[in-house]
Amino acid sequence: MAIEKNYYTIDPEGKLQCMKCGVLLEKGKAKFMYLDNGFPVELPVCPVCGFVYVPEELALGKVASVERALEDK
């Protein structure tokens, strides 16, 4: 079995709750997509409804810098 590459992993550590479903978010599989590129990541995801949470630090840090790099490709 091939080892899956994840560009980023964030564990919610039981601190985040999905308001709609009333359950805790879990570390789950997600994907960032931009300008026809995709990046597998592991983010806090609601196991029931599938809400994917992108924390502020990630959005303003890594995500922003990858965006800039892809924009200038």
- Residues forming the site for Zn ion (CB under 5 A): 18, 20-21, 46, 48-49, 51
User: For residues 29 and 39, is the Cβ–Cβ distance under 8 A?
Assistant: no
Between residues 13 and 60, which has the closer beta carbon with respect to Zn ion?
A: 13
Alpha-carbon gap, residue 73 to 66, rounded angstroms: 11
User: Can you tell me the distance from the alpha carbon of 19 to that of 73, in angstroms, rounded to the nearest whole number?
Assistant: 39
7 interface partner picked from another protein, Zn ion, none, CB below 5 to 8 A per type: none
**Site for another protein contains 10 (CB under 8 A):** no
Does residue 8 touch another protein according to CB under 8 A? no
Residue closer to Zn ion, measured from CB, 55 or 66 = 55
